[in-house]
Structures are given as C-alpha cells and as structure tokens.
Amino acid sequence: MDRLLIWVAVAIVALVGLWWLWGTASHKPSSVEVQVTVSEYSFKTSLTDFPAGTVYHFKITNAGTMAHDWMIMPAGETDESKALVKVEDSDLKPGVTLTRDFTFNQAGEFEFACHVEGHYEKGMKLPISVK
C-alpha cells in the first residue's frame, strides 16, 4: 500500500513536470526584438541580417536632437511610397521611442533610411539583408 502511494506520487510529479515543460515550450516569444537608434545622421541597429518570415518587433529610439524618419526601403530606393514600413519624422521626435512589428516576406537587399530633406544625402542610411 505504501509502495502504491509512492508510485502514485512519482507519477503525479512526472505529469506536472511534463505539463510545465509543455507550457514553457509553447510560450516562447513570438517575435524578435530589434533595437534601432536614430541620430544625426546615422542608424544603429542590434540586427542587420533578417531571415524572412520572422516577426520582428522594432523599437526605434531617436537619440538625436532633431526629428528623423525611419523606414525600410529597397536598397538605394528614394521614392518614399516604396517603403515597406515607415515611421514619419512628425512622430519620431528627439527622445521618442516608437515600436513597429514587421515581417519580411521576401529575401533581398534593403536599407533603413531617413528621407527628411538632406539627411539621406548626409549618409542617413544603413544596409540590411533579408535571407
């Protein structure tokens, strides 16, 4: 009888353990955070290579002293209507942090860019790659 109780206790502990493992495995984060820092006249990012299909949670901080854009553009593209995702300079003021979730759906060469008048020409772009 005592033995049976011990086996029941062991079985319960094992089941609770399995349930906990299953729970932690299924609650892994569903997006990858990317920290982007914007200033005059450059971008810094925690990631430059992006596998397609992953959900990225971009945290864009303006650490500069003037407003900037943050947009993901096909490499070298200057037509803002071609932006894959865009934060306007009217929103990204100095000291502000904004977030955007974005998933690349095709491989290619892209860049972070600021198209506030004159900034792109001053080098405000950063190449990124989607595999």
Residues 9-68 close enough to bind Cu ion by CB under 5 A = 68
Nearer residue to Cu ion within complex by CB, 32 or 42:
42
Q: Which is nearer to Cu ion, 60 or 119 (CB)?
A: 119
Q: How far is the CB of 124 from Cu ion (least distance, A)?
A: 5
Closer CB to Cu ion, residue 53 or residue 118?
A: 118
* Residue matched to tokens 């190449």: 127
CB of residue 43 vs Cu ion: minimum separation in angstroms?
9
Return the residues of window 98-127 that contact Cu ion according to CB under 5 A: 114, 116, 119, 124
**What are the DSSP calls for 75-124, one per residue?**
TT---GGG-SEEE-TTTS-TT-EEEEEEE--S-EEEEEE--STTTTTTT-
Query: What 3-state class would DSSP assign to 131?
Result: coil
- Give SS3 for 6: helix
Contact residues for Cu ion, defined by CB under 5 A? 68, 114, 116, 119, 124
